[in-house]
A and B are shown apart, each in its own frame.
Chain A
Amino acid sequence: MELILDIFTGICFFIGSLSIIIGACGLIKLPDVFSRIHAAGMIDTGGTAFFILGMVFQTGWSLITVKLILIGVFIFFTSPVTSHVTANLARQKNILPVGKKIGKIL
């Protein structure tokens, strides 16, 4: 039983590590602020979700699990807000995104 949980944790950590490293690479590689927000979103959603899932497999049911899930919920609620505020402010300062525009832009 312990072995199975360990394997699950290992898989989750592997996927999480992969997604945060790819996200950080994207943060460096992508061309402008608006594209980089997507990479940061990958770190915030994919990375955290899998790491927390992996740690939940290790604890079983206790108060620690609740705290882990709380961390996940906080990051889940706050990450889109920061992304949106950053993007909105960049638009307010008249930075136009690279790439094609479809239809009328606000």
Chain B
Amino acid sequence: MKSLILFLILLTLWLLMSGHYSILIISLGIFSCAFCVYVAKRGKLIDDEGLPIFFIPRLLNYLIWLFKEILKSNLSTAKVIINGKVEPETFTVKASQVTDVAKVTYANSITLTPGTVTTKMQKDVFEVHALNSDFGNDVRTNEMDNKVTWLEGKK
């Protein structure tokens, strides 16, 4: 089932990228996509981590929220850089997600918003470096943590 979804995604990518639609080229594409899926299956890459399907229903909502967040923190990072008031701080937060994929998503979301970077991970404790105490407070209120847990939808 999952390999079929992967095959369809790869084939869509091929069709979008090539732009030439003749029988020969499309059949070559189908062949190479099938080969890729076969290799991925042999390497046991197709599992919950490679293709996290349980994210999909709530993904759009989360992405819109994430973009808003990124815009806001971009603005404040720009202000900090122009003002030159840098007071970096390092602290640890606890992640409340169950699966590894969701934890990685949380850590990546922290890193993706400029101003906060995950520097180390140990099981479910993240060490976060923030540019300013405002950014630090943003992470420490656990808003993003709750959002990712909601995105995961396992609880």
Q: Which residues of A contact B (CB under 8 A)?
A: 18-19, 22-23, 25-26, 29-32, 34-35, 37-39, 41-42, 45-46, 49, 63, 66-67, 70, 76, 79-81, 83-84, 87-88, 90-91, 97-106
Q: A41 vs B114: C-alpha distance in the bound complex, in angstroms?
A: 5
CB atoms of A88 and B78 under 8 A apart: no
Q: What count of chain B residues pass the 8 Å CB interface test?
A: 39
CB atoms of B117 and A101 under 8 A apart: no
Cβ-neighbour of B19 out of A26, A37, A63, A81 (below 8 A): A63
Task: Name the residue of chain A whose CB is nearest to the CB of B19.
Answer: A63
* B77 contact set on A, CB distance < 8 A: 26, 38-39, 41-42
CB atoms of B111 and A84 under 8 A apart: yes
CB atoms of B89 and A84 under 8 A apart: no
Interface string of B41-69 (1 = CB under 8 A from A): 00000000000000000000000000100
* A19 contact set on B, CB distance < 8 A: 74, 78
* A26 contact set on B, CB distance < 8 A: 77, 81
CB atoms of B127 and A106 under 8 A apart: yes
CB atoms of B112 and A45 under 8 A apart: yes
CB atoms of A84 and B74 under 8 A apart: no
CB atoms of B90 and A101 under 8 A apart: yes
Cβ-neighbour of B117 out of A29, A34, A76, A103 (below 8 A): A34
CB atoms of B74 and A46 under 8 A apart: yes
Task: Name the residue of chain A whose CB is nearest to the CB of B74.
Answer: A46
Q: Which among B16, B67, B86, B89 has the greatest number of chain A C-beta atoms within 10 A?
A: B86
